[in-house]
Amino acid sequence: MLNKKINQLYLIALSVKVGLVVAAILFTNLGIYKPTDDYLLFSNLKLSSIFEIFYNFDSGWYKVIAEYGYKDIPVGHTSVWNHPEMHFAFFPLFPLSIGAIMSMSGLSFEVSGFIFNVFILYLMIRYFYLFLIGVKINEINAFRIVLLLLLFPFSLHLYFLYTESLFFTLLMACFLFILRKQWWQFAIASGLFVLTRPNGIFFMLPFAFFMLECEGPVTFKSFKKAFSKGSYYLLLAMPMMFFFWMVYQYQVTGNFFAFKIAQEVGWKKTFLSPFIVLFQDKKPIDIFLSTYCCLFMLIAALMVLKWRVSYHLMVWFNILMPLAAGSLTSITRYIAILFPYYISLGISKFANKYFRYI
């Protein structure tokens, strides 16, 4: 029964992916959407156009890394960058996974990325659904919660050539493996998780608290007792993997923190008070993003007694860190993968009554 539900959700995810293709083509030809070139017009449409739909913004950086790695970027690329090591702002697991498919198949980055995303979407749904069942959510509500994730407007990024789907897959894998006490699987998943995005290392604390919560009430005694259990030391896989990545950066660039320098130079990300960036700009998009961010922070505050401590740590880290870097640009992407929001909505009385309309 579980596999049947998971397969149904996976078919829905694939349907969304196909729907995005159809919508992009129709909207372009109706003049509603205007891409930078005319590759989606009926007169220019090719099979490759379908795969290019999912190639947006940061996808270009991942493509460069997938094709050349981190050491041998051609001068033709780096000459137009603000800094020769700007690609280090993007962590390696996602682009190198697609690069492996490219090497084995001879396919382009766009096609290989499409294949990788189709594969990852299944794992993402499976781990999320099994986690929900593991925390005693019934099958009907679990199905609803995963469906909310798949159809949420800003979950659009899960279907593109971005890290969101891989990041969320490994996030749920870590939570699921902790829940099941599958410690070596957790060590591997958490290590890979750190290599997916720069903020991955900060999830070490939510994972640690979730481990404590799975054993009973979190008290000073339980916290102290954790130091005598080998399972907690597997959390060290995360800083160890991060350290290895820093050593690699040093070998290539001479700087252990090349990723941080790249973010500062290329994207002007510097540490500041997280709330300064809110409503700083009066442009409509910035007002919308600030309002959106405040709404989700308010919801998290209202859930102070309903969510686990581990959930709160994950949510607040994932919201405040991008703001502290001085940017609202990707805040919808960061919030879209915060599963406690979907759980709260999916099990609410409102959802039980009006889910068909949602």
57-113 confidence digits (pLDDT tens): 889 999 999 999 998 888 878 878 877 889 999 999 999 999 999 999 999 999 999
pLDDT at res. 356: 80
pLDDT at 148: 95
Mean pLDDT of 281-303: 93
Residues 320-355 have pLDDT tens digits of 988 888 888 889 999 999 999 999 999 988 888 888
Q: What is the pLDDT of residue 354?
A: 86
Residues 6+ apart with CB under 8 A from 352: none
